[in-house]
Structure 1
Amino acid sequence: MTGPKVTIIMATYNRAHFIAETLSSIQKQTYLNWECLIIDDGGTDNTIEIISPILEQDSRFKYLKRPEGYKKGLPGCRNYGLDLAKGDFIIFFDDDDIVHPQNLELCVNELNQNQVSFCRYKREVFFNDFDYNFNYTKEYSSFTIDVNRIADMLTNKLPFNSCAVMWKKECFTNNRFVEHLMYAEEWELYSRILSSKVQGISINKTLFYGRKHSNSNTGEFFDHNPVRRESHVNAVLLIIQNLKEKQLLTPSLIRYFITISVGFKEYNLFNKIIEILDPSVLKRLQWSFFYRSYPLRILVYKIKKSLK
């Protein structure tokens, strides 16, 4: 096995019914120099029984249990994996998804050939059974990403899914997941890395397939799970604080976050944002008017749209 080593970090929790298919897709990678750290977050199902044949067959897979020194949850498991990683490059995969066979190969090629710190790629979703009819072309367009695209990343115009980026290990030298976040943890961390002015490349090829089901962090968030919603609020506040300190917080981003706060009144998000911003009295009044008038403006917009 030649070339830089890739560390795949996979947190798992009670996914015995999905994980074997995910690991199988990793085994089929065209790039061979990798290790996969499977971090069990204290699951109670038969995951270890399901994956034992794979562990015995392929020494590149390592099964570990999250130690008590790391907080329970996805961020704690991933931080543990980061501390153990021996690879030059880091990538996070979930325990219920499918990886394109060329995922590692194409990302490693991009990171080797370009002076960039990460390689982003496209992700698609699927329901129920997966169609293994992959597109193996190596011809695709690409574009660079730098700190000037941070607003696009935060507003989801340029999505940064947690499993759709390969990073150089140095990106995590001074950066780790915030372990009390139980949702939007990668949104917060990836924006923090991008705000440090690293440069990356995005390739227009789908290399990862996310399984859609209700028993996921994202599914629980949209079902108004209070733990996930509170975590989203805390992630917003951490992002705003970081951007303010680095003088990257633009008026348009402030408007975006204040717009978000309308949907989180029970967490008093707007006032917490204002507290971090610490604006002048006039600016405080302007933002307050923007916040309070937003629902009415949205209603007027919807009425106008329906009339057209």
Structure 2
Amino acid sequence: MFNNKVSIIIPTYNRAHLIGETLDSVLAQIYTNWECIIVDDGSIDDTEEIIASYIKKDMRFQYYHRPIDRQKGANACRNIGYELSNGEYIKWFDSDDIMHPDFLAKQVQALEQNKDLDFCASFSKKFIKTIDDLNEDFYPEITFDKNAIYNFIIGKLYFLTPSSLWRKRILEDIELFDETLYNAHETDFNFKRLIEGGKFCYLEEVLFYVRRGHQSIDKESINDPLCLQSQFDYFQKVYQFLNSSNEVLEDAKINKLKKYVIYREVNFYYEIRNLSCFKESINNFKLILKDIANVNLRFLEILRLFFGIIVILFFKKGYWLIHLKKFDIRR
């Protein structure tokens, strides 16, 4: 019988109308050795009163406010929850999603029976109002460890934040969620764990349900320059990894991935430039120039990209110049 404690960490913001369903699904877990740490990002609705009623029923629930000296946002709340946790396992969850009753039990069992694994993920489904209207599946195309970094960078392998159960020991003394990011935080966090050598398994079962159709605590607007900049910054981190000497990937794959990353960067650069002033785009321009200089490209490709990013910088035009579709290796 497995009995290691699981720390469930839930950031929340103005979820009084939804968080009760989430906490009910936590209470319904057949695995009972858990603590649930809820970190409020500054709610102005009845969130505190709702959670107080759950704490009154079950002392395994804990409620904290984000300190005013910490960055606002879900990432800081996730990190704060981790700092307060006492479990051997960590489960970050969202305040509007719902757990299957077997969620924790099956993931704890997988990790207890496979001591070499660092985390365990699972499939999920999307719903709008109730889990009776489940529709879209969240199943990554790739679910195994082989070539994990390569498949993760191109999006064939992914992990939703609530999906994974983590051994706490592998998370100690490392950067967790980047509190400066407005978007791509989930991808950034999991990328860091993979390049650190994190080993995982994917349970090919739907064990939680993801709510969609409302504004999230995480900013995800495609028209928000801060969100777009966060995605650009994530791909900069990927490029820095690819440009460093490493024995994880073959040279041929590294060059393919560098071209793909540049393809993604210049597309975000174009979108950001059209939403931002000239001065704010200069740094991105310089970073792309540096990346282009460190990848094996044909002369005409270099010329096209170089003139493209200049035209975009000065005139907010020239998308066709930087849109090198052949660099997109996702298909």
Shorter-chain TM-score category?
0.7 to 0.9
1:259 is the counterpart of 2:273: no
In 2, Cα distance between equivalents of 1:66 and 1:200:
31
Q: Is the 8 A contact 1:94 1:163 kept in 2?
A: yes
Equivalence for 2:54: 54
1:275 is displaced (CA, Å) by 2.2
In 1, Cα distance between equivalents of 2:49 and 2:298:
58
**Secondary structure of the residue that 2:121 maps to in structure 1?**
strand
1:295 is displaced (CA, Å) by 2.9
**Secondary structure of the residue that 1:37 maps to in structure 2?**
strand
Which segment is superposed worse, 209-218 or 151-160?
209-218
Change (3 A) 1:32 1:260: same
1:122 is displaced (CA, Å) by 0.7
1:56 is displaced (CA, Å) by 0.7
Q: Is the 8 A contact 1:258 1:270 kept in 2?
A: no
For residues 236-251 of structure 1, the aligned pairs below 5 Å read 236-245=235-244, 247=246, 250-251=254-255
In 2, Cα distance between equivalents of 1:295 and 1:277:
14
**Secondary structure of the residue that 1:157 maps to in structure 2?**
coil
**Secondary structure of the residue that 1:95 maps to in structure 2?**
coil
Amino acid at match of 1:236: F
1:216 is displaced (CA, Å) by 2.1
In 2, Cα distance between equivalents of 1:9 and 1:166:
11
Which segment is superposed worse, 113-122 or 148-157?
148-157
**Secondary structure of the residue that 1:220 maps to in structure 2?**
coil
Change (3 A) 1:289 1:214: farther
In 1, Cα distance between equivalents of 2:325 and 2:242:
28
1:175 is displaced (CA, Å) by 2.9
Q: Aligned residues: percent identity?
A: 33
Change (3 A) 1:35 1:195: same
Equivalence for 1:162: 161
In 1, Cα distance between equivalents of 2:221 and 2:189:
18
In 2, Cα distance between equivalents of 1:238 and 1:30:
40
Amino acid at match of 1:161: L
1:124 is displaced (CA, Å) by 1.4
**Ranges in structure 1 where 5+ consecutive residues have no aligned partner:** 134-141, 299-308
In 2, Cα distance between equivalents of 1:285 and 1:160:
37
Amino acid at match of 1:125: K
Q: Is the 8 A contact 2:267 2:322 kept in 1?
A: no
Equivalence for 2:85: 85
Query: What does the per-residue CA deviation read over 1:154-208, in whole Å, with 9 as the maximum and x for residues that have no partner?
Result: 2221121111111111221123211111111121111111101121111101111
Q: What value does the CA root-mean-square deviation take over the aligned residues?
A: 2.7
Change (3 A) 1:275 1:25: same
Equivalence for 1:295: 323
How many residues in Structure 1 have an aligned counterpart in Structure 2? 287
Equivalence for 1:233: 232
In 1, Cα distance between equivalents of 2:257 and 2:285:
14
**Ranges in structure 2 where 5+ consecutive residues have no aligned partner:** 135-141, 274-280, 309-320, 327-331
Q: Is the 8 A contact 2:242 2:258 kept in 1?
A: no
Equivalence for 2:118: 117
**Secondary structure of the residue that 1:145 maps to in structure 2?**
coil
For residues 132-151 of structure 1, the aligned pairs below 5 Å read 144-145=144-145, 148-151=147-150
**Secondary structure of the residue that 1:182 maps to in structure 2?**
coil
**Secondary structure of the residue that 2:158 maps to in structure 1?**
coil
Q: Is the 8 A contact 2:182 2:218 kept in 1?
A: no
Q: Could you state the TM-score of these two structures normalised by the residue count of structure 1?
A: 0.84
In 1, Cα distance between equivalents of 2:185 and 2:177:
6
Amino acid at match of 1:113: Q
1:275 is the counterpart of 2:290: yes
Equivalence for 2:137: none
Q: Is the 8 A contact 1:183 1:217 kept in 2?
A: no
Q: Is the 8 A contact 1:16 1:50 kept in 2?
A: yes
Change (3 A) 1:262 1:273: closer
Q: Is the 8 A contact 1:12 1:95 kept in 2?
A: yes
**Secondary structure of the residue that 1:221 maps to in structure 2?**
coil
In 2, Cα distance between equivalents of 1:218 and 1:39:
14
Q: Is the 8 A contact 2:7 2:35 kept in 1?
A: yes
Which segment is superposed worse, 89-98 or 120-129?
120-129
Q: Is the 8 A contact 2:144 2:201 kept in 1?
A: yes
1:65 is displaced (CA, Å) by 0.5
Amino acid at match of 1:295: H
For residues 39-78 of structure 1, the aligned pairs below 5 Å read 39-78=39-78
Q: Is the 8 A contact 1:36 1:61 kept in 2?
A: yes
Q: Is the 8 A contact 1:274 1:284 kept in 2?
A: no
